[in-house]
Amino acid sequence: MDNQEVLADMPSNYEELRSSANRNANWRERLSAVEELGKWKNEKSIDILKHRLNTDAVHQVREAAYRSLLALGEDVQMPERHKGELMKDVTKVMVRIKKSLPRDHTFEDFKEKLKKMRIDIYDTYEGDKGEEFDQWLEQKWASLSKR
């Protein structure tokens, strides 16, 4: 976004960008939409960017919204990283998934089932943890109560 022209109109694909910015199970799509909306200085784009800044579970998306809003001249504060669980009842969900697998399942089995059953959780934590996601998830899996 550096040295980029800010446009005052509405993007021709505004509705698509609005939908993408609010797609819960795809942080990369939200990030891309936030970056694109950051090129357009208008009330609707700014509203969406502020919403992502204040509510997105993935820090990278909130940070991109912050940078976009700053570039558009908005008075905003840098978002803090969330501490603790990013989504409600994540541990309970993971325990249920672990218990649904055979006793001798592997971490990879658990990871695949989580991805299949709760892509929203998988995607949110993958986006927030970045390169540390697999290590975090494996530690979480190992710490879940056994049957």
Q: Domain locations in the chain? A: 14-71, 90-143
pLDDT of 7 > 60? The answer is no
- Segment 49-75 mean pLDDT: 93
What whole-number distance in Å separates Cα of residue 97 and Cα of residue 142?
A: 13
pLDDT of 51 > 80? The answer is yes
pLDDT averaged over every residue in the chain: 88
* pLDDT of amino acid 145: 67
pTM exceeds 0.75: no
* pLDDT of amino acid 16: 87
Is residue 52 within 8 A of residue 34, CB to CB? The reply is yes
Which tens digits make up the pLDDT trace of 78-131?
A: 888 877 788 888 999 999 999 999 999 999 999 999 999 999 899 999 988 989
What whole-number distance in Å separates Cα of residue 63 and Cα of residue 112?
A: 29
Can you read off the two tokens belonging to residue 104?
């001798």
pLDDT of 12 > 50? The answer is yes
- Segment 14-32 mean pLDDT: 88
* pLDDT of amino acid 146: 59
Give the percent of the chain with pLDDT over 90: 60
* pLDDT of amino acid 78: 85
CA dihedral sign of residues 20, 23, 27, 28: negative
